[in-house]
Copies of this chain bind each other. A is one copy, B any other.
Amino acid sequence: MPKPVPTQQLIDGLLRGDRLALARAISRVEDDAEDAAGIVQAVFAHTGKAHFIGVTGAPGTGKSTLVSALVESYRASGVTVGVLAVDPTSPFSGGALLGDRVRMTSHSGDAGVFIRSMATRRGAGGLAKASAEAMLLLDAAGFDCVLVETVGAGQAEIEIASVADTVVVVEAPGLGDEVQAIKAGLLEIADIFAVNKADRKGAARTVAALEMMLETGAAAAQPIFHHGQRMEASTARSETDAKEEWSIPVLETVAVSGGGVAQLRDALERHRAWLVESGRRAAREGRRLDHILQTVVQAEILARMERALPPDLRRHLVEKMQQRETDPYSAASDLVQKLST
Contacts and interface: CB of A to CB of B under 8 A. Distances in A.
B297 A60 contact: no
A181 B99 contact: yes
Interface residues of A, number: 80
Interface string A324-338: 100111111101100
Interface of A: 37, 40-41, 44-45, 47-48, 58-60, 64, 87-93, 96, 98-99, 121, 123-124, 133, 136, 151-158, 175-179, 181-182, 184-185, 188, 224, 227, 231, 282, 285-286, 289-290, 292-293, 296-298, 300-302, 305, 311, 314-315, 317-319, 321-322, 324, 327-333, 335-336, 339
Given A176-B60, A296-B332, A289 B318 contact: yes
Given A184-B90, A293-B332, A60 B158 contact: no
B154 A185 contact: no
Given A154-B155, A177-B99, A293 B321 contact: yes
A341 to B, nearest CB: 13
A185 B293 contact: no
Contacts of A92: 184-185, 188, 224
Contact of A293 (B182, B311, B317): B317
Contact of A153 (B154, B324, B333): B154
